Amino acid sequence: MASGSDLFDKALGELGMVLARVDQGAVDEACRILADARQIVFYGCGREALQMKGFAMRLFHLGLPVSVVGDMTTPALGRGDVFFASSGPGETTTVLTLMKVAHAARAKNLLVTAQPKASAADLADYMLVIPAQTMADDQGAQRSSVLPMGSVFEGALFLLSEIMVLKLKDMLGVSPEAMRARHTNME
């Protein structure tokens, strides 16, 4: 087994290579879609859900109208709203079902995935592709990451969301002080 330092270097290198292949024009357009949304509802499964909840929290700090599927305060979606889902493998059944619900309600489906030819892509109005290993391709010859299962996708999703927060902060003209003022005092 490689040393901890070697594994760290490999993992960081993988994340850098993945993020270097993300289409920056697509990221900018996704930011515009989020900035213009009447309401944004986030969803992801498993560890992707943790990344999406963190992203939703930062958008709340920016002053955007956000919620997460499953929270009691999540509103009904409709025209002018965005359902922002993460499905690295692109075949997550809950994501597929919720995207159909959002579509029927006339909300936009914004998808982040590693599999642009999977079923979820067919339901997306707009897609961000993170070209990283997920649980759809972590076995045998397809395996490309030192990290297990979908970890490289999840790590790249975190970093991509933070870059999108920076872009949205500038786009919306939100100060660091305004973001901090929206942070909870209940912790």
User: What is the pLDDT at residue 100?
Assistant: 98
- Local confidence band at 31 (pLDDT 50, 70, 90 cut-offs): very high
* SS3 state at 68: strand
The pLDDT assigned to 144 comes to: 64
Q: In this structure, is residue 176 part of a structural domain?
A: no
CATH number for the domain that contains residue 70? 3.40.50.10490
Which structural domain range is residue 134 located in?
10-170
Instruction: Return the H-helix or E-strand segment holding 170.
Output: helix 151-172
Q: Is residue 57 predicted with pLDDT exceeding 80?
A: yes
pLDDT value at residue 7: 83
Taking residue 52's Cβ as centre, other Cβ atoms within 10 Å add up to 23
Query: Is residue 147 in a domain?
Result: yes
Q: What span, in angstroms and rounded, lies between the C-alpha atoms of 187 and 184?
A: 7
Structural contact between residues 37 and 65, judged by C-beta atoms closer than 8 angstroms: yes
Residue 138 lies in a domain: yes
Q: Is residue 156 part of a domain?
A: yes
What's the domain count of the chain?
1
Identify the active-site residue in 14, 29, 48, 154: 154
CA angle 130, 74, 172 (to 5 degrees): 60
Q: Report the alpha-carbon distance of residue 126 to residue 51 in Å, rounded.
A: 19
Average pLDDT, the chain: 90
Q: What share of the chain is helix, strand, coil (3-state, %, to 5)?
A: 50, 10, 35
Please list, in sequence order, all residues whose beta carbon lies within 8 angstroms of the beta carbon of residue 6, skipping any fewer than 6 positions away: none
The order of strands in the sheet holding 126-129 is 66-68, 40-44, 82-86, 108-113, 126-129
pLDDT tens-digit series, residues 1-24: 576 678 888 878 888 988 999 999
Contact in structure between 64 and 89 (CB atoms under 8 Å): no
- pLDDT tens digits along 94-122: 999 999 999 999 999 999 999 999 999 99
Q: Name the residue with higher pLDDT: 150 or 75.
A: 75
Closest CA relative to residue 162, chosen from 38, 31, 67: 31
> Is residue 182 domain-resident?
no
91 catalytic? Reply is no
Of residues 9 and 35, more confidently modeled: 35
| Per-residue pLDDT, 84 | 98
Q: How confident is the model at residue 127 (pLDDT cuts 50, 70, 90)?
A: very high
Would the pTM count as exceeding 0.85?
A: yes
Q: Residue 152's pLDDT band (boundaries 50, 70, 90)?
A: confident
Q: Is position 175 within any domain? A: no
Q: What is the pLDDT of residue 141?
A: 64
In this structure, is residue 2 part of a structural domain? no
pLDDT on residue 14: 84
Q: Is residue 186 part of a domain?
A: no
Question: Is the pLDDT confidence value at 128 over 60?
Answer: yes
140 has a pLDDT exceeding 70: no
